[in-house]
Structure 1
Amino acid sequence: MALGPHTVGRKLLWSIALPGLIVALIGGGYFWREMRRAVQDAAHREALALAEFIASTFTLPQADRAHPHSAVAEVIASDTRLLRSVAELRVLTPDGRIRWSRQRGEEGTLHPERERLTAPTPETARSAREGTEVVRPLGGAECADCHTGDNAQHLGVLQVRLSEPLLSRQLGSVFHLAMVSTLVFGLMLTLATALSLHFFLTRPLRRLTGNMRRAEEGDVLVRAETRGTDEISRLGAAFNQMLARITSMKVEEIDTHRDLAVTKEKLALKEKLEERITELSLLFDVAHSLNSTLDLQEMFERITRLVVERLKIPNFSIMLRNADGNLEIRTAWPHHRGSVGLTFAFGEGACGRAAETLRAVYLPDVSDRSSIFAKRNLVGGTDHGSLLAVPMVHMEAVLGVMNFQRPEVAGFSPEELELLTAVADQAATAVKNARLHSETVLLTQTDPLTGVPNRRHLFNRMEAELARAERYSTPLSMLMIDVDHFKRLNDAAGHRAGDEVLRKVCDVLRTRVRKVDTLARYGGEEFMVLLPQTAKEGALEVGEKLRRAVLETAALAAPTQPTGHITISIGVASFPLDATEQETLVDCVDAALYASKRGGRNKVSAYEPGMEIHPGRERGPHSSTRPAAEGTFPLPPPGVAKA
């Protein structure tokens, strides 16, 4: 009774059961994820509140001659209902030693994770398999009354770890039970559906198929069962009627004269059919050629080869609309005529008229001087024969014109006019797609605000230049440029004025670098310049030239700036003098830039060893305007060495 591997019933069963199973799994996974997220959020809030409560006991008043913070020890050691879910509770000194602990015997010992817990970080809460952990630093203004000096800022760390909430385990059990129930219900529903399809669809179709196979083998007296009024029964009745008609046709004589007439008509249509097949084959080949490439020149060469070889058109050219709005010949056949590059205005000649009217223009005889298109009709072809100019139109916009010329007068039939118009329509779509592809590639590599390469293109270019410099043992220098006090400019004049300043600064930089150099926007108000085959001394000279150019540009005067003018700070680093790896070189030039910032801005600084240890990053919004370089880690804050 099982459904066969290729039956309609099995196909219907899969079309119903599989989407339902997928939807059920996706829905179950989604609700499970949301439930876990809600439980974790609740656990985080509970842990943070408990940590805040324990930390508040440090501010309780002390009794006379009592041990310091005796209330803290009592709270930690207590077995109240509030602390029953606490798995671990410790207070650590700044050096990682356990001062108070809920576990007996740990006081005075060093915590095995003291480096992670005693780092000067803000209060955090994280989830793990064993529960939820909160690490809260102790100290600050609330402890200034009892602790004085710099030590009051960091007196220790409070570590609280809660066990997994009971609610999470209960919800997990309920969810698993619901999933098992859903699976059992789905299996039962699938079984019931399979049985129904077998009895009401598969078995009747199998009987009908057997009767059809017997009729195919020559048994025209067989008949299908027609019990019922459903579609299968009606199909069987139609099959029976067909067999009855076939039986009656076999006993009738064939009308010989009618067969002869039909044969003559078929012979007459054979030539037309062959022509249509040739046209459709050409259209198929054109479509295949156009869809297999996005390069315009390669596309034009393929179209030219198909038109010349398959349609036997000896003179052919393709024109595209150029930036001036005129029609320019991009490719032509034969090549030796030298017509590539010729331009036609709209309305000039047959091609211009076709572009202007968005319709094909056909000249049966180009030697007829009385034609209104007589002037410059030939488009580089011969001075006799017939000419057909078909516009390439896409979305009511003219992209170009295709010109076909034969040496015979009236050399194009109406069928060929339709065929060549279809070829031009396909070519127009392919040209539009190729241009859109080129524009898309350009947009993915260009910053939309300044028009220079973006961060992605910069790092691709940087990788290539570093490989070239390493291969040929040549130097490569890098400049990182930052607009000084840019946040102050945005706050005072608005973000639109800030964008305009970035464009002007970029224009100044673009005109003063070499063509082989790469100027790109690194992020925010920062730019980067790659200087191939340039040593560090030469890069310093280039940086100084760029700094003076920005300072001396009258259009960059800004009353809101401290100096009354837009200025830039520049960092310089070189390969292989400062670094041999891309990530390290970016860190070096970044450290040199912040050295210029520390030095008062409007300055060019070369990288020196040690700059990355104290980069002098500014705190506040400015520090977040520039994203970290791809493949690098952010530099540590002042006073903290790199790991």
Structure 2
Amino acid sequence: MVSSLLIVLNILILLAWVAFGEWGLWIFVFLSSVLTLIVSLGTNTNITTMANTTLNGSNNTGMAMTYRVSTLNINIQIFIFFAVGLFVTIFKNGMVSYVLSIGRQIDTLEEEKNALVAEHSSIKGTNDALKEKVIRYAALKDVTGKLSSTLSLDSVATIVIDSVSELVERVDVSNLFLVDDEAHELALKAARGKEGTVSVKSKKGDIFDIWVLKQRQPLLVSDTDKDFRFNIDLIPQELRRDFKSVIAAPLISQKKVIGILRVESREPGAYVSDDLRLLATISDLAATALENAKLYHRIEELAITDGLTGLYCNRYFKERLDEDISKTVRLKQPLSLLMFDIDGFKGYNDKYGHIAGDIVLKSVGGLVK
């Protein structure tokens, strides 16, 4: 009976530890010891009584031996309870320390893993950005080759506007404005939308283009409705377009703004600083190409026009006359030719001098043009 009780109590001690922790463990150890002591004392009393009844002739020495054996058994049983409790406590503390150590190692490994993942993501992002830049710079090399292959102003403008639409992402409309040297204002040279050519109502630019022209620096607007520098209400209603994001860069040649390259999107926050830098790079290439095309066009004009009147020279007149006569004969169309003279010009020139005569020739040339 005592053995069965010991097994049951030890099981209860373990269950108490699981259910209530260390305090429950030692409370059950104490209660189990008290219960075992009470049961053992009662059992020993019965055994002693039975021994006296059976052995009437026994002496007191036998009784003392029986009591000492019973006391020893009780001490051993109580010792077993406390030994189990102590073992369980030591085991539990060791397991807790081990689990905490494993937990700290797991946390450390998790932190290292997160750091490696973050580093990998950063490196991957950097690699992707570098790849994109390499692709863009390769495309810029092709743009440079195309711009170098022509000296036609219209061809250069077409190459520039097409390149911007292809290289800059999220482009709804791209515009190229050139400065009219005579009128001292912007004039739209080329425009392109997602589907190709697009009609732009503001041929002379709007508040964003004027800002770039005056400030002589690139412009990035993430949201036209929230940018404090610009008031959209200042744009006439008939000239407004549906856009939210704008980037623009000046075309500067010989410290002079010769035009503006602009890109816009209907989505707010469509562009970042990298897009603006790319546009500025294209603008630098475009400025050089456009200036070369203008110089070439100017040289061509000087070769076929009179420097004083601005009218075509005699050689070019004869070349075009032969071409037009051949064309009218081939197409069987009429051809008109007007010739006139300035009456009294020689006398005027002799009387007032060559400078005054040049003024007359230049004025008449302006009227003819």
Equivalent residues of 1:350, 1:377 under 8 A apart: no
Choose the corresponding residue for 2:222, options 360, 364, 369: 364
Supply the AA of the counterpart residue of 2:297. S
Q: CA deviation at 1:464?
A: 2.3
Distance (Å, rounded) in 2 between the aligned partners of 1:437 and 1:383: 37
- Name the TM-score, length of structure 1 as normaliser: 0.33
Change (3 A) 1:476 1:292: same
For residues 337-372 of structure 1, give each alpha carbon's deviation from its aligned partner in whole angstroms, at most 9, with x where no partner exists.
63155323xxx5222111100011211212216443
1:373-412 → structure 2 map (5 Å cutoff): 373-374=231-232, 375-376=234-235, 381-384=241-244, 386-412=245-271
- For structure 2, the residue ranges without an aligned partner over 5 or more in a row are 1-115
Pairing 1:332–2:187 present: no
1:391-540 → structure 2 map (5 Å cutoff): 391-468=250-327, 472=332, 486=346, 493-500=352-359, 502-503=361-362, 506=364
Distance (Å, rounded) in 2 between the aligned partners of 1:409 and 1:377: 21
Distance (Å, rounded) in 1 between the aligned partners of 2:282 and 2:141: 10
Q: CA deviation at 1:424?
A: 1.2
Choose the corresponding residue for 2:213, options 352, 355, 377: 355
Supply the AA of the counterpart residue of 1:318. L
Q: CA deviation at 1:423?
A: 0.8
Q: CA deviation at 1:398?
A: 1.6
Change (3 A) 1:292 1:484: same
Counterpart secondary structure, 1:339: coil
Identity %: 22
Distance (Å, rounded) in 2 between the aligned partners of 1:351 and 1:496: 42
Q: CA deviation at 1:332?
A: 2.7
Change (3 A) 1:415 1:491: same
Higher strand share: 1
Distance (Å, rounded) in 2 between the aligned partners of 1:300 and 1:425: 13
Higher helix share: 2
Equivalent residues of 2:168, 2:279 under 8 A apart: no
Q: CA deviation at 1:274?
A: 0.4
Quote the RMSD (CA, aligned, Å): 4.0
Counterpart secondary structure, 2:191: strand
Q: CA deviation at 1:500?
A: 4.1
Choose the corresponding residue for 1:315, options 161, 166, 173: 173
Change (3 A) 1:450 1:309: closer
Bigger relative contact order (CA 8 A; separation at least 6): 2
Distance (Å, rounded) in 2 between the aligned partners of 1:270 and 1:401: 32
Equivalent residues of 1:337, 1:380 under 8 A apart: no
Distance (Å, rounded) in 1 between the aligned partners of 2:172 and 2:324: 48
- Name the TM-score, length of structure 2 as normaliser: 0.54
For residues 407-441 of structure 1, give each alpha carbon's deviation from its aligned partner in whole angstroms, at most 9, with x where no partner exists.
44333232222111111111122222222222222
Q: CA deviation at 1:315?
A: 2.7
For residues 574-619 of structure 1, give each alpha carbon's deviation from its aligned partner in whole angstroms, at most 9, with x where no partner exists.
xxxxxxxxxxxxxxxxxxxxxxxxxxxxxxxxxxxxxxxxxxxxxx
Counterpart secondary structure, 1:411: coil
* Corresponding position of 1:237: none
Equivalent residues of 2:311, 2:365 under 8 A apart: no
What count of residue pairs does the alignment treat as equivalent?
Answer: 244
Counterpart secondary structure, 1:410: coil
Q: CA deviation at 1:458?
A: 2.0
Counterpart secondary structure, 2:183: coil
Distance (Å, rounded) in 1 between the aligned partners of 2:335 and 2:173: 54
Change (3 A) 1:423 1:503: closer
Supply the AA of the counterpart residue of 1:420. L
For residues 45-85 of structure 1, give each alpha carbon's deviation from its aligned partner in whole angstroms, at most 9, with x where no partner exists.
xxxxxxxxxxxxxxxxxxxxxxxxxxxxxxxxxxxxxxxxx
1:531-550 → structure 2 map (5 Å cutoff): none
Equivalent residues of 2:175, 2:261 under 8 A apart: yes
Counterpart secondary structure, 1:421: helix
Change (3 A) 1:315 1:380: farther
Change (3 A) 1:414 1:445: same
- For structure 1, the residue ranges without an aligned partner over 5 or more in a row are 1-259, 516-643
Counterpart secondary structure, 1:392: strand
Distance (Å, rounded) in 2 between the aligned partners of 1:485 and 1:411: 65
Equivalent residues of 2:222, 2:246 under 8 A apart: yes
Distance (Å, rounded) in 1 between the aligned partners of 2:126 and 2:317: 64
Distance (Å, rounded) in 2 between the aligned partners of 1:394 and 1:468: 41
* Corresponding position of 1:68: none
Distance (Å, rounded) in 1 between the aligned partners of 2:209 and 2:167: 23
Distance (Å, rounded) in 2 between the aligned partners of 1:428 and 1:485: 45
* Corresponding position of 2:77: none
Supply the AA of the counterpart residue of 2:298. E
* Corresponding position of 1:302: 159
* Corresponding position of 1:582: none
